């Protein structure tokens, strides 16, 4: 039966490629400042039509509190069968610098055995994975299905997070497959059990009523950009590790590690450049806070004037490990930045989104069924890893459905370069993870009958 299912999925891969090409061609960036909102609507309608054809019922668009649209559908379980929620998101990150892409970001391009384009992995590749698994099972679907595709996950505006609690019955399930992560490497079956939380702030510095001539006033006139740089630099120690007053930066990771050389390869670290921080790579990724300066508002190099900047701003992101309260971390970051800005410069810190860290419980029948499925497809037992990224929705799911098992998996292995130029997916991962998902649904149904 497993061999027959594998053959069906292999035969569906050309269709999966066509589907992914259509989805990637829709620039569904959920930021109206950058892309037309109708493109997200187009992607949502594509998803709704595709999952209707795949056998789900009443697939429709629901507006969420941030104005984005979630695609929601279902299929009832057979008598006595459990229900599984399938999650994904159809919005994508902006392509950033188009010139850094080897091929057009919104055009699926095959190269060196991989499929390139924005969203090929995060998360449109997981949409196609779900579709392929459902198509392979056809009418032989042994569980009930709840389905939700989020429309603003990458913007962090929390539309679905706010929608779920008052609509808890609509998405209630016994097990939740949150498919927005991936394997530790191609061919290494993995579930993510730990997620860092995240908090972002925008820090602004003002020193002068307006920019002044650097020749006439430079020296005693306080440079707002220099003051901002001083404050940002204070967030790290001499080794580059995150050091924020009031936050513990000594945590250790006790699960499967992350080889340093593999990390250097996966992250594209240039020859001779040292990794920042101390401890193991896994410690730094999954057990300790990590600060990143996401962007700075200041004069660009081209077109800059010989003037002392009067104002400057930066957007700062802080990843928060399990065991640390994300709001307390935001408070600590805010206090640190205000104290670190020098020369009595005026400083403001505007809080943005806050997402709590997440830790999964792995001892239930859903994880046992997933391990069995992964062994059958990959010939290896399941691995448990942490992830440095954040999915705040997982905590909403955990609070709303405390008895449900939550599994994070998908097609986004490190070579995918999600959020970066030249994002790609290994089509073999789509094929194999679709096979894993289909087998999981069968095995999970069997466990409910025993």
Q: Which listed residue (91, 223, 405, 426) is catalytic?
A: 91
Q: Which listed residue (19, 150, 153, 413) is catalytic?
A: 153
- Which own/partner contact pairs does 102-105 have at CB distance under 8 Å and 24+ positions apart? 102/422, 103/422, 105/421, 105/423
Torsion of the alpha carbons at 234, 238, 240 and 244, rounded to the nearest 10: -40
Active site residue 91: yes
d(CA 50, CA 412): 21
Question: Which residues are annotated as catalytic?
Answer: 91, 153
């Amino acid at each position: 039966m497993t061999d027959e299912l594998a053959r069906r999925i292999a035969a569906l891969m050309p269709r999966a490629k066509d589907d992914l090409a259509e989805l990637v061609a829709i620039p569904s960036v959920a930021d109206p400042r950058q892309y037309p909102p109708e493109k997200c609507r187009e992607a949502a309608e594509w998803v709704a039509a595709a999952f209707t054809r795949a056998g789900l019922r009443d697939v429709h668009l629901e507006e969420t509190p941030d104005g984005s649209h979630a695609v929601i559908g279902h299929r009832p379980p057979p008598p006595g069968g459990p229900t599984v929620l399938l999650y994904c998101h159809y919005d994508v990150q902006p392509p950033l610098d188009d010139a850094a892409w080897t091929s057009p970001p919104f055009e699926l391009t095959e190269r060196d055995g991989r499929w390139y384009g924005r969203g090929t992995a995060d998360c449109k590749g997981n949409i196609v994975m779900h579709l392929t698994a459902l198509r392979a099972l056809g009418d032989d679907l042994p569980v009930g299905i709840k389905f939700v595709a989020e429309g603003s996950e990458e913007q962090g505006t929390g539309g679905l997070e706010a929608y779920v609690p008052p609509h808890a019955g609509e998405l209630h399930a016994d097990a939740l497959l949150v498919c927005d992560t991936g394997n530790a490497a191609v061919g290494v079956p993995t579930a993510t059990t730990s997620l860092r939380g995240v908090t972002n702030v925008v820090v602004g510095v003002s020193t002068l009523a307006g920019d002044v001539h650097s020749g006439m006033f430079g020296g005693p006139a306080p440079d707002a950009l220099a003051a901002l740089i001083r404050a940002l630099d204070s967030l790290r120690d001499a080794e580059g590790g995150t050091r924020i007053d009031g936050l513990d930066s000594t945590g250790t990771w006790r699960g499967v590690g992350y080889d340093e050389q593999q990390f250097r390869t996966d992250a594209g670290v240039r020859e001779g450049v040292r990794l920042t921080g101390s401890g193991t790579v896994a410690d730094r990724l999954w057990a300790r806070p990590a600060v990143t300066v996401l962007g700075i508002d200041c004069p660009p190099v081209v077109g800059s004037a010989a003037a002392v900047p009067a104002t400057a701003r930066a957007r700062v992101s802080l990843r928060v490990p399990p065991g640390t309260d994300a709001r307390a971390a935001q408070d600590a970051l805010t206090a640190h930045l205000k104290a670190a800005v020098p020369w009595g410069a005026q400083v403001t810190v505007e809080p943005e989104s806050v997402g709590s860290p997440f830790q999964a419980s792995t001892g239930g029948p859903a994880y046992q069924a997933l391990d069995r499925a992964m062994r059958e497809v990959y010939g290896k037992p399941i691995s448990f890893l942490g992830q440095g990224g954040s999915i705040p929705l997982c905590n909403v799911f955990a609070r709303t459905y405390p008895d449900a098992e939550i599994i994070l998996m998908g097609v986004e292995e490190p070579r995918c370069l999600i959020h970066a130029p030249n994002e790609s997916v290994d089509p073999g991962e789509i094929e194999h993870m679709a096979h894993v998902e289909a087998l999981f649904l069968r095995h999970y149904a069997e466990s409910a009958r025993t």
